[in-house]
Amino acid sequence: MTDLTELTAVQLVDGYRKGAFSPVEATRAVLERAERIQPEVNAFVRLTGEEALDQARRAEERWRRGEPCGRLDGVPVTVKDILLTRGQPTLRGSRAVSPDGPWDEDAPSVARLREHGAVFVGKTTTPEYGWKGVTDSPLSGVTRNPHDPSRTAGGSSGGAAAAVALGAGPLALGTDGGGSVRIPASFCGIFGLKPTYGRVPLYPASAFGTLAHVGPMTRDAADAALMLDVVGTPDARDWSALGPASGSYTEALSGGVRGLRVAYSPTLGGQVAVRPAVAGAVRRAVERLAELGAYVTEADPDFTDPVDAFHTLWFSGAARVVQHLRAGQRELLDPGLREIVGAGARYSALDYLAAVDVRMELGRRMGVFHGSYDLLVTPTLPVTAFEAGVEVPKGSGYRRWTGWTPFTYPFNLTQQPAATVPVGTDGDGLPVGLQIVAARHRDDLVLRTAHALYGAETALVTARSAG
């Protein structure tokens, strides 16, 4: 029998259309899986079983009549507990946030999913206010890696990544301010997309400003394209949102990579020390892109590590996000968050504007770079998942999570679309991710390149099975 928790959203919708199975069956299977994995992995802050089943029953009736209400009618989804979800508390991983309502509004991306009939099975874990690249918080504890529960799932959308990886819903909404979709997606072996800033509207506005993106976390690129077609539409509450996309991301998947100019930068010009197992898996995937017809050149973008500017913007945002808290409430915060809040409060307006200048120059350099190359390909991370419950790998010498994420946060500064694709594992069976970056507004190129890689992998597995 078909294991409904292993199907993608595209496959679920096709099955509903054909009457092979129902939204209620799929939702029950996902809820059972979520309840089973929760004690060990801790992907959820809240499961909404009865509400989800009620939504699934209504979707089932619509499919029975042949009148689905949208492109995701009856598909189970999860929402990171940073994004407002009507009828459910959004606690942002913090004991300083009161669960008292009213919780009467959806974030734009959640609203679009609801309009298209998605079934909301739960809210997923996040570090406090999404401040770091791993997922643990004083409120909900430690979220663990699906491949090895002694390791971290990454963050800050760690619960979302773990849920998708373990079949607790094929679609998840995450947020990404410095890699928070791509980091956990890479560590957990799934697909994650940070769209061009503004492609997915955000409300309320993030205290981290225009670093913060909302993006899909899925089994593959086809599901992410479908999800982006749904959530990537304007919302009047976000003044910085982009206008309607020029076409369907799903329809753009079939373009392939033949003729695309791909710059492969394994270490950002020697700036990043990458573990050999990671470097090898990424290089093999890059070779597959060349075999598929892309013009691959080893080339590095022209920038030095912008971590100081990123810290200025990120730490200032953290200070702003907790500015309203009383002294007693601040004592409830994650100690690491309190540290960066203190640093952020000490920056001046001139410090902030100097960081904006660095950001603008980085954006200019990447704009020029993409005049020569359609895509930049790098490792998503230089390491695989390390021990759970710590911000940095033990013995690494890093002070903050940005020390081991040098491939991700630069492209939040530039607002470019960037995705991670699983391309193998290391010697411990832990997933390795490849990052695909395109010029602003070229989310279609990122998705179609990822889709081509998934297609090549599927063909390879099929050939091995036949042999």
pLDDT score at 344: 98
Q: What is the mean pLDDT of residues 443-454?
A: 98
Given a cut of 90, is residue 460 above it in pLDDT?
A: no
pLDDT score at 117: 98
CA distance 245 to 234: 9
Given a cut of 90, is residue 439 above it in pLDDT?
A: yes
- 192: confidence class by pLDDT, cuts 50, 70, 90: very high
Catalytic residues: 80, 156, 180
Q: Residues 325-358: pLDDT tens digits?
A: 999 999 999 999 999 999 999 999 999 999 999 9
Q: Phi, psi at residue 231, to the nearest 5°? A: -90, -15
Given a cut of 80, is residue 240 above it in pLDDT?
A: yes
406 upstream amide cis, omega within 30 of 0? no
Given a cut of 90, is residue 241 above it in pLDDT?
A: yes
Question: Is the CB of residue 59 less than 8 Å from the CB of residue 72?
Answer: no
pLDDT score at 465: 73
pLDDT score at 80: 98
Q: What is the CATH number of the domain that holds 141?
A: 3.90.1300.10
Give residue 194's domain range.
4-242+251-466
Q: What is the mean pLDDT of residues 394-422?
A: 98
102 upstream amide cis, omega within 30 of 0? yes
CA distance 276 to 284: 12
Average pLDDT of the chain is: 97
* Domains contained in the chain, number: 1
Q: Residues 80-112: pLDDT tens digits?
A: 999 999 999 999 999 999 999 899 999 999 999
Return the biggest CA–CA distance within the chain. 66
Q: Residues 58-88: pLDDT tens digits?
A: 999 999 999 999 999 999 999 999 999 999 9
pLDDT score at 467: 72
Helix (H, G, I), strand (E, B) or coil at 448: helix
Provide CB contacts within 8 A for 102, sequence distance 6+: none
pLDDT score at 462: 75
CA distance 455 to 450: 9
**pTM confidence score:** 0.98
Provide CB contacts within 8 A for 65, sequence distance 6+: none
pLDDT score at 459: 79
Beta strands in 89-152 (DSSP E): 119-124, 136-137, 141-142, 144-145, 148-152
Residue 273 token pair:
């020390």
In the chain, % of residues over pLDDT 90:
97
Q: What is the mean pLDDT of residues 131-150?
A: 98
pLDDT score at 229: 98
